[in-house]
Amino acid sequence: MAYQRTGFGEDMKLQTVPNAGAVFGANAPIGLGGLGGSPDGPLNIVHVFWIAGMSCDGCSIAATAATNPSVEDLLLGRIPNLPKVVLHHPVLNPGAGTELMRPMKAAVNGELGAPYVVVLEGSVPDDQAFPTDDGYFSAMGGGGFDPDTETDQPNRVTDWLWKLAPGAAAYVAIGTCATWGGIPAAAGNITGSMSLMDYLGKDYRSALGVPVVNVPGCSPVGDNFIDVVQAVLLFLQGIAPLPKFDDLGRPAWLFTETVHRHCPKAGYYEEGVFAEEPGDNQCLVEIGCWGPVVQCNIVERGAINHMGGCMVAGAACIGCTMPGFPDKYSPFYKAPPGSAISGGMSKMYGGAIRRLRRLSMRKLNREPLWDKTGEVPSPWAEKHKKPTGTDKTMSFFYKKLQYNNSVNQAKRNKKQPIPQSRDILSQKGL
């Protein structure tokens, strides 16, 4: 496949981009380290066509909130070794109408002169079987696709997606509607909405051999999306290997772990302490949190600028990154059925462990000096002035285990002289 190296000029050198299907077991690899990339050198420009299907524009807002890297970094070519990204976005583009649609039509007709990536936000409605003059669920621009004939009908999103598919360097679905159908595909919908994968079919590969890349979330973490776009562009440049995607086309480095494993409330779960109503500080599983079985990285990465994220802000996980969302996670206010067993067991063993830990904390919250003098020198510490019999017994066994085959710091501390506080000195009249 040949692309012009820069811009649209006729006399520009054509640049060859190999079939990156090699990564998926097809042809011989080309580029640095046998990766993607072009034998003619790096790409200078990549167009990105942002198409909105059955969407609320939340993914656009999320993407523009990315900080590391940001959309601006991509558009201004500030990321070393990446081509400059020319974004065609129905909301963010300064131009509208024909100006916005012209490059997309050029891409459909093979006249763009540069590689392009398509990003879909929103799900794909099932309107492609309607007669051409008999309505649509989602459309962009109008006039048809044939340069010789004009229609007065809007161009359906389903047609754009189909016509851009063969020539696209990559297809990226952003957000849960585009990746798995999401809310527009929920039970009771009248649009027959589906995901991009469902629409293009299981055999779809982009012009460079890459299947649909999925970045789910409702709305997704903006940094996740730009991270993935950056990784795909580095691969297309032949600079980095194609990162690992899982069997649903999700970036594996972002969506392998469950959100529960990194949740700030996971310690409460482990100790068997659960919230009874929204706003409580404890683990939220009994008021509808699905975190233990949901693949999402929002609590590590943060919602925006590494801040926030559902449980960080006190909200239960309703599984918005998952293919079963929303129907398989509703009703959102009920505890997941599996939590009756796992939460119940956690209450039993976690409750016992929690009590043992509190005992350890009583001991560890005291200076070695206070163990010797038998008091904490502060009016705050009325409750803890004297170690109880339980404290002493526990401390004895604790120290035996802790210092076994090691230096016994407790014994060494016993030999330390007791420091003379100002209070004792004044009592002695000094």
Helices 389-402 and 339-364 sit at what angle, rounded to 10 degrees? 100
Q: Tokens in use for 417?
A: 């002289």
Least Å from the CB of residue 391 to ligand SF4: 31
The reply on whether position 101 binds ligand SF4 by CB under 6 A is no
The reply on whether position 296 binds ligand SF4 by CB under 6 A is yes
Least Å from the CB of residue 185 to ligand SF4: 17
User: Using CB under 6 A, which of the segments 63-71, 109-117, 240-248, 311-319 binds ligand SF4?
Assistant: 311-319
Nearest to 2 by CA among 158, 167, 141: 167
What count of other Cβ atoms lies within 10 Å of the Cβ of residue 262? 17
Q: Which of 58, 125, 292, 387: binder of ligand SF4 (CB under 6 A)? A: 292
- The pairing of beta strand 2-4 with beta strand 14-16: antiparallel
Q: Which of 169, 183, 287, 289: binder of ligand SF4 (CB under 6 A)? A: 289
CA distances from 9 to 38, 39, 112, 405 (A): 20, 21, 10, 78
Torsion of CA 385, 389, 395, 398, to 10 degrees: -150
b/e map 291-327, b = 16+ CB within 10 Å? bbbbbbbbbbbbbbeeeebbbbeeebbbbbbbbebbe
Q: Which of 139, 164, 212, 285: binder of ligand SF4 (CB under 6 A)? A: 285
196 to 235: interface string for ligand SF4, x by CB under 6 A: ---------------------x------------------
Q: Which residue is nearest to ligand SF4 (CB)?
A: 291
Q: Which of 265, 272, 326, 350: binder of ligand SF4 (CB under 6 A)? A: 265
Which helix (H) or strand (E) is 4 found in, with range?
A: strand 2-4
The reply on whether position 255 binds ligand SF4 by CB under 6 A is no
Q: Tokens in use for 84?
A: 């400059």
The reply on whether position 329 binds ligand SF4 by CB under 6 A is no
Q: Which of 89, 105, 156, 260: binder of ligand SF4 (CB under 6 A)? A: 260
Q: Under the rule (CB under 6 A), what is the footprint of ligand SF4? A: 217, 259-260, 263, 265-266, 269, 283-285, 289, 291-292, 294, 296, 298, 310-311, 317-321
